[in-house]
Amino acid sequence: MRVFTHFHEMDLPNGRTVGVRWRTILQFGDGWDVIGNVVMKNPGSARVRKGETSSITDIFLTQELRDFAPEDENPWYEFQPDATMHSIKDLFALKYGIDPKNLCGIIQIFNLFYIKNPDLNTAMDDDTDARFEICTRDLHHLSQHKDKPTYLGWGDLWSSDRYAEKAKAMFDLVQPYNNYLSSEIDKNPFIHPLYLMRYGRKLEACTNVINLFSSKS
């Protein structure tokens, strides 16, 4: 798995410096076709790939990546996969009925907001000072591949006043193509992929979601 993303640091009016990570894509094998989407709360612990201190300059690679965000002139970086990304790999391997090492293609990662911090409360506090135009582009990018398997793992953040409108719009876009989702948004658990595939894997609630998502019907 390779992880490509836009990233920069931003100084906020509150005096804090935060990392902002958006338009993250996971590449499996050497394929560039989109095979799925995931929407979560905010970027967490993934860091710039070890040994990489600057943006990607390879001409072929940057051209392939540009197709995923042609309107964005910001540089691309390669990040180290984190535990959540490995959980996503395992979940979609189940969906496609193959060994994880045989996945081939792109899984797009979207978030309800883009402050990079595994501490959700701190990230939300910082998000009051940093709203980004990139959030408005998500619906466009997601709509281009709305018929691909899409896992929604944003927990209960979808119901917060700040993010409900965006979450509902994304839900309405992909729900008709994903039979594991109830048509009533509040009837869905939206379990985070890391908890779903690791910490809570043996719990009935997680097993039910995994079975529904990976079902071929």
The two structure tokens encoding residue 213: 């998502």
Confidence of residue 18 (pLDDT cuts 50, 70, 90): confident
Name the residue range of residue 46's domain: 2-214
CA 20 from chain centre, in angstroms, equals 14
What's the structural domain count of the chain? 1
Q: State the average pLDDT over residues 23-38.
A: 97
- Rounded to the nearest 10 degrees, what angle do helices 134-143 and 164-174 cross at? 10
Higher pLDDT, 133 or 72: 72
Q: What element of type H or E holds 135? A: helix 134-143
Could you report the per-residue pLDDT of 60-75, keeping only the tens digit for each?
999 999 999 898 888 9
Instruction: Tell me the pLDDT band of 50, cut-offs 50, 70 and 90.
Output: low
Asked if the model's pLDDT at residue 95 lies above 80, the reply is yes
Confidence of residue 4 (pLDDT cuts 50, 70, 90): very high
Which is it for strands 2-11 and 17-28: parallel, antiparallel or unpaired? Answer: antiparallel
pLDDT level of residue 99 (50, 70, 90 thresholds): very high
Question: 132 falls in which pLDDT band (50, 70, 90)?
Answer: low
The mean pLDDT value of the chain amounts to: 91
Higher pLDDT, 192 or 52: 192
**pLDDT number for residue 53:** 56
Give the rounded distance of the alpha carbon of 87 from its chain centre. Answer: 12
pLDDT on residue 87: 98
Distances (CA, A) of 77 to 99, 157, 200: 27, 28, 32
* DSSP states along 60-113: HHHHHHHTT-TT--SPEEEE---HHHHHHHHHHHHHHTS-GGG--EEEEEEES-
Model confidence at 46: pLDDT above 70: no
48 has pLDDT over 80: no
Average pLDDT over residues 20-29: 94
